[in-house]
Structure 1
């Protein structure tokens, strides 16, 4: 492989890695001032732990030899010893590290659902177990030769040209994280005094900075894999990543203005993230016009969906469900209608929509069940939620012994 492609692979890996601190900033600004350290530490904790697990055995689990396999053998190349000594070690190790960044951010995203009330040690145990039982196998299903990757051929035959489209993680990242977030929100229960307006973002500029970092890093997220494809579709991916995200900002703030009378900066940032989520699976398989429509729809629908927690009675603190689960579903299913050449309304039949729906809801159910079982087991043994008095006082000092803002005379 030429050095330019490898250089883009390294750059894309760094961009996606930078997205996890972006999540930390985005989430950190949204919580109480006395919870910002705890919130950001859950992202940085995931960054540390999942990187180690991926190198030890997660990468091995993320590819299978047959669609019938659940996951790869975690001990097939423990610690990447063979990979690092192979003839193509340069490209192989960059590719493996790029995959690690996806695993990291998927786990970090989940933490937003349990802001203000989770124990850090319990979170780390959950993160390691969920990555091992859910993310690593799902990555194999979607991208590593597993059953989702082969679903179209299994149902309609090799000649049909139908396969599940998930270019950068609508199912494996966003539906996966969103379903797990819903499960943990149910396990940990509602914050004390949970109601609409219970807390306001303590630092709006921090949230906007996080959203900006996420948008910046998302070019590595969506266009990064093109380093293995000689950048063949990078132009389409880049314009769709800009267009859908921009359109989603408009969709969100219009709904906000109509519903609440004001368009907010936090709404604009949330709309941008919703657009990024929705375009993730679809970035290489939509013409730019359809990408703009996807962004408008995702921004508007997610702006409405974040209100569901108050009507349905679950406390998803930072709207991981409303943005990542709903946005991931929209982007994944939208391909069944508008994917170039195979979507129902652009020359195809119902087959593309069928495989998209099966993949989306299979990952949703599996991730929810796994996260609920792990979270419930932790809560009933060592405890997942902090004491009520620690929640009221703020989890930063009780859990980490630090303050986000130490003001002195």
Structure 2
């Protein structure tokens, strides 16, 4: 008897493997069935989204580097540290109840229930977002969205917020602000999902919510006791960190937007192209504004902010518009954000990280433009999704986008204020450092034996009884005098 015949007889004698029960929330018992069989032939979707998730993770430290570079040197380490602590804290929150509150299949129109509390039933069953993905992967991918958003929000504590209350706030904010808004927007039971408002990858839950909440954080904390050469808080202490952080964010955004198709399709490739096009147009738009406003001079930080503004603007529209329209959206968003340079002064709120300007205002502009430019000729590239915006003759969609913008911005701002005011009066959770600690810097107050940069410089200054702030102030004063002399000479000429 041949080997083939023997193998065939053995297979006939073996009992047939039990089928996976489609009603099993776990997706089958791996001790009894092969849970991978339900994804045979479509594994490429899993590989693609897993790769996108790994790329998105880079946004978290990217924001930390960006914030660290924008801060004054004496408070930069706090922003780097919080990027890792936020990722760790939000991971626990998401596993504990965050995922269930946002994505449980039995959710109501405003918030989910605790059907998936502690990741119950989150394993190999097809996910609520796509039947091509196991729910554990979908859960992880969405976890990173939440972590990125919380990391954006903590920028509102810029240079005067205590770290432990900031992390506690992040946990609570993810629970009562992000998860409900994510449920509204992306859960099939959500009220915005069924309105329908159009939000491809997070214009509302990620950007508008984080921008308005960071504004609330800055409002409740109060203004900084601004001292030293960088009293305006508008000059980055390390442009290299700003540039590096922006590069990581730009790269991570390919996974952020590109993976939001939840599968591989031509539409996913268009989304990736749109993301790059909008960011590029954002750089151009902000640079043009800077060039005009600052007498034909450039700014690296301005170019970086333009890239982020373009990314923010295209986020809600990436899967609904053509590449050329994505450039229009990126350019318009960047110009609008650049022209709002003094929005903090107009509002009388010290939000020095420009979170509201870039994410809040940028997200609103992007969401509004999505209602105008969304077209079925792009959305149907995945073979399933058909949406129509104003450009397709559906003017009603513009009004629905305004409903999305107003509801998310008002809810996130008001609830954040209530949460912060409540924390402010809880013993041990006071939000702000002391005036002395703020003047010395968060890094010296909150950390032991660590500083950004070369410690030898500071040890030498300490030996000579000098302070870096005093030297910088003197240098800045001399530089200002020199510029004034040059300007006077130019006028005489």
Q: TM-score, normalised by structure 1?
A: 0.92
From 240, 246, 249, the equivalent of 2:283 is: 249
Deviation at 1:87, TM superposition (A): 7.6
1:54–1:100: 8 Å Cα contact kept in structure 2? yes
Deviation at 1:276, TM superposition (A): 0.3
2:46–2:263: 8 Å Cα contact kept in structure 1? no
Of residues 2-11 and 13-22 in structure 1, the stretch that sits farther from structure 2 once superposed is 2-11
Deviation at 1:242, TM superposition (A): 1.0
2:303 paired with 1:268 = yes
2:107–2:113: 8 Å Cα contact kept in structure 1? no
**Aligned equivalent of 2:441:** 394
Of residues 370-379 and 277-286 in structure 1, the stretch that sits farther from structure 2 once superposed is 370-379
From 148, 154, 161, the equivalent of 2:192 is: 148
From 165, 180, 183, the equivalent of 2:198 is: 165
Deviation at 1:147, TM superposition (A): 0.3
In structure 2, list runs of 5 or more residues that go unmatched.
Answer: 1-38, 377-387, 458-493
**Aligned equivalent of 1:78:** 117
2:125–2:134: 8 Å Cα contact kept in structure 1? no
Separation of aligned partners in 2, 1:371 and 1:306: 24
**Aligned equivalent of 1:102:** 145
1:67–1:150: 8 Å Cα contact kept in structure 2? no
Residues 1:85 and 1:322: Cα distance change in structure 2 (over 3 Å): closer
SS in 1 for 2:161: coil
**Aligned equivalent of 1:338:** 373
Separation of aligned partners in 2, 1:4 and 1:34: 47
Separation of aligned partners in 2, 1:69 and 1:347: 28
In structure 1, list runs of 5 or more residues that go unmatched.
Answer: 152-162
**1:25-64 alignment runs, 5 A limit:** 25-63=65-103
**Aligned equivalent of 2:252:** 217
Residues 1:55 and 1:311: Cα distance change in structure 2 (over 3 Å): same
Q: What RMSD in Å do the two structures reach over aligned CA positions?
A: 1.9
1:306–1:323: 8 Å Cα contact kept in structure 2? no
**Aligned equivalent of 2:451:** 403
Query: What do the CA deviations read for 1:86-125 (whole angstroms, capped 9, x no partner)?
Result: 4889721111100000000011001222211000011011
2:234–2:352: 8 Å Cα contact kept in structure 1? no
Choose between structure 1 and 2 for higher RCO, CA contacts under 8 A separated by at least 6 residues.
Answer: 1
1:306–1:321: 8 Å Cα contact kept in structure 2? no
2:291 paired with 1:291 = no
Of residues 326-335 and 255-264 in structure 1, the stretch that sits farther from structure 2 once superposed is 255-264
Separation of aligned partners in 1, 2:455 and 2:301: 25
2:237 paired with 1:202 = yes
From 344, 352, 363, the equivalent of 2:397 is: 352
Aligned residues: 395
Of residues 183-192 and 347-356 in structure 1, the stretch that sits farther from structure 2 once superposed is 347-356
Separation of aligned partners in 2, 1:298 and 1:308: 15
**Aligned equivalent of 1:157:** none
1:19–1:218: 8 Å Cα contact kept in structure 2? yes
Separation of aligned partners in 1, 2:203 and 2:298: 27
Residues 1:66 and 1:87: Cα distance change in structure 2 (over 3 Å): closer
The structure whose Rg is larger is 2
2:423 paired with 1:378 = yes
Deviation at 1:258, TM superposition (A): 1.1
2:200–2:317: 8 Å Cα contact kept in structure 1? yes
Deviation at 1:377, TM superposition (A): 1.7
1:67–1:147: 8 Å Cα contact kept in structure 2? no
Separation of aligned partners in 2, 1:180 and 1:348: 34
